Homo-oligomer: A and B are copies of this chain.
Amino acid sequence: MIDSTVAWIALGLACAPDGQTLRAIRERCASPMTILVNDAEGEGVDLLLPPPAREASLKQMAAARREAEGVRAIGGEVVGFGDARYPPLLREIGDPPAWISLLGDPGEADGAAVAIVGSRDASLAGEQRAFEWALWLARRGVAIVSGFARGIDAAAHRGALAGGGRTVAVLGCGPDVLYPRAHGVLRAQVLDAGGAILSEFPLGTRPARWTFPRRNRLISGLSHGVLVVQAQARSGTLITARCAGDQGREVWAVPGAPEDPRARGTNALLRQGARLVENPAEVLEDLVPWAGARQRDEGACAQAIADQSDEEKNLLAAMEHRPVDIDTLALRARLPVTAIAALLLGLELRGQVRRTEGMRFQRS
Instruction: Give the residues from 237 to 277 in chain A that come closer than 8 angstroms, CB to CB, to chain B.
Output: 254-261, 263-264, 267, 270-271, 276-277
Task: Please state if B263 and A257 are interface contacts (CB–CB under 8 Å).
Answer: yes
Chain B residue, CB-CB nearest to A256: B257
CA A260 to CA B258, docked complex, whole Å: 13
A119 to chain B, nearest CB (A): 14
A259–B255 Cα distance when bound, in Å, is 10
Give Cα distance in the complex from A2 to B294, angstroms.
79
Cβ of A259: which chain B residues have Cβ within 8 Å of it?
125, 129, 355
A278 within 8 A of B: yes
Instruction: Enumerate chain B residues within 8 angstroms of A277, measured Cβ to Cβ.
Output: 258
Separation of A114 and B257 alpha carbons in the complex (Å): 21
User: Cβ of A257: which chain B residues have Cβ within 8 Å of it?
Assistant: 125, 254-257, 260, 263
CB of A205 closer than 8 Å to a CB of B: no
Copies of this chain present in the complex amount to 2
Complex Cα–Cα for A259 and B254 (A): 10
Query: With A and B bound together, what is the CA distance between A129 and B258 in angstroms?
Result: 9
Q: Mark A119-134, 1 if CB is under 8 A from B, else 0.
A: 0000001000100000
- Evaluate contact between A258 and B267: CB separation under 8 angstroms: no
Residues of B within 8 A of A270 (CB): 255, 270, 276
Contacts of A254 in B (CB 8 A): 257-258
Q: Which residues of B contact A20 (CB under 8 A)?
A: none
Q: Give bound CA distance, A255 to B274, whole Å.
A: 14
Residues on the B chain within 8 Å of A264, using CB: 278
Closest to A279 in B: B258
Closest to A132 in B: B259
CB-CB nearest in chain B for A271: B276
Residue ranges of A at the interface with B (Cβ–Cβ < 8 Å): 125, 129, 254-261, 263-264, 267, 270-271, 276-279, 355
Can you list 28 pairs linking A and B with CB atoms under 8 Å apart? A125-B257, A125-B259, A129-B258, A129-B259, A254-B257, A254-B258, A255-B255, A255-B256, A255-B257, A255-B258, A255-B263, A255-B267, A255-B270, A255-B276, A256-B256, A256-B257, A257-B257, A257-B263, A258-B277, A258-B278, A258-B279, A259-B355, A261-B355, A264-B278, A267-B278, A270-B270, A270-B276, A271-B276
